[in-house]
Amino acid sequence: MSRNLANPPHPPGPRPGRAPAVAVVAFGANLGDREGTIRAAADRIARLPLVSDVRLSSLIETVALRLDGPDPDAPGYVNAVAVVTTRLAPSILLGMLHAIEDEFGRERHERWGDRTLDLDLIAYGTEASDDEHLQLPHPRAFERLFVLEPWLELDARAVLPGHGPVADLVAALHRREQR
């Protein structure tokens, strides 16, 4: 049986795949050229396959957090958030974020330690995951102003799945700080 390849019976169309989703990525760095690293990492994310429309918040400086709380004696952090449109699966995106951390010299010697770059996947659309390798939304995002305020700057109507509007979370954290 022969087939006419010049005129296939069903012309190829767009390949099926994952619908675009909005992901929220938090950036942090407290070693080296913190601001330059964050900006370069955002550019690197923008060059990932199936990623578009990367919007980076303003960069803010914060006190280092350790397991037992803020550490004003440690090098300060520069933090930011990016809102990213992607067709990558969340687990693939997270793996690529870890690879970018590695490209920028990230070493994982101690949890809550100093770092050249930290990239956290905060949210991926409305998806939820309790997998030990992929927790969505990020389990501590709701209590971190250095994540929520930059996110709110990019999207005034942002919602953290399972926790509610980001604006409400920010207001509650500010009220708690004033007590």
Question: Which amino acids are annotated catalytic?
Answer: 106, 115, 118, 120
How many Cβ atoms from other residues are within 10 Å of residue 73's Cβ? 8
Contact (Cβ atoms closer than 8 angstroms) between residue 146 and residue 77: yes
Whose tokens are 């449109």? That residue is 85
Rg (CA), the chain: 19
Please give the structure tokens belonging to residue 47.
């060059």
CA distance 162 to 179: 25
CA distance 1 to 38: 58
Contact (Cβ atoms closer than 8 angstroms) between residue 54 and residue 42: yes
